[in-house]
């Protein structure tokens, strides 16, 4: 549970390094309008514009700071993103902070650190399909295939069989040679041939990474 009003300091790229990370999750209507505008730019793959929009106003809530870390990472500013998510994780103790930090570590190929942070996020938000999906993917990268499939199947069901977890779960079934699992995806969840082909490519990429 995020602590309302808690704050700490973390550097911001090109900005005041003493800016305060906010832990409150209470968003006012004007905050939500700003976040919606940022999310719209992110959905159009415009992370630089989204970052500029976000930094044009104060970062008033934890949701703002999570977006800030995500956008720093998306624009290649990995050290700054790591600092933001570390501050969120330490000050707020929230799933969002640990989740973001875990993903930054994975992008930096720090697999064990990433796995540890995602495990913390999973403990804090066990019903989040995004967290369980990313934790499952990290488990695949660290050769913990059976545990990964459990997490990915959980994420899959939490997401009602939609989204990127479809590919990850299919890749997990391929890596564990689970033909029954693949048949389930095909017969009950309409896994297409192109999706299976993409999952095979993903599984091969995971084999090369680990």
Around Cβ 43, how many Cβ atoms within 10 Å?
9
Span 125-177, pLDDT tens digits = 999 999 999 999 999 999 999 999 999 999 999 999 999 999 999 999 999 99
pTM (2 decimals)? Answer: 0.87
- Whether residue 76 is predicted with pLDDT greater than 80 in this model: the reply is yes
Token digits for 10? 């973390």
Q: Which residues lie closer than 8 Å to 119 by C-beta, 6 or more apart? A: 135
User: Distance (Å, rounded) from C-alpha 122 to C-alpha 63?
Assistant: 18
Span 81-137, pLDDT tens digits = 999 999 999 999 999 999 999 999 999 999 999 999 999 999 999 999 999 999 999
Measured at the CA of 43, the angle between CA 161 and CA 95, to 5 degrees, comes to: 65
The stretch 197-207 carries a mean pLDDT of: 97
- Cα–Cα distances in Å, from 67 out to 95, 192, 208? 14, 33, 31
């Amino acid at each position: 549970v995020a602590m309302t009003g808690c704050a700490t300091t973390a550097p911001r790229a090109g900005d005041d390094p003493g800016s305060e990370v906010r832990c409150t999750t209470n968003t006012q209507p004007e905050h939500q309008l700003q976040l919606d505008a940022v999310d719209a730019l992110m959905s159009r793959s415009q992370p630089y514009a989204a970052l500029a929009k976000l930094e044009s106003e104060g970062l008033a809530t934890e949701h703002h700071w999570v977006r800030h870390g995500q956008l720093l990472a998306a624009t290649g500013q990995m050290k700054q993103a790591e600092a933001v998510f570390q501050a969120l994780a330490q000050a707020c103790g929230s799933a969002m902070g640990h989740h973001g930090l875990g993903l930054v570590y994975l992008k930096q190929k720090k697999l064990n650190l990433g796995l540890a942070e995602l495990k913390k996020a999973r403990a804090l938000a066990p019903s989040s399909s995004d967290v369980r999906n990313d934790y499952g993917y990290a488990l695949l990268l660290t050769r913990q295939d059976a545990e990964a499939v459990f997490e990915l199947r959980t994420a899959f069901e939490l997401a009602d069989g939609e989204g990127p977890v479809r590919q990850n779960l299919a890749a997990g079934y391929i890596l564990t040679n689970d033909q029954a699992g693949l048949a389930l995806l095909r017969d009950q969840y309409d896994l297409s041939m192109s999706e299976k082909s993409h999952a095979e490519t993903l599984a091969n990429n995971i084999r090369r990474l680990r």
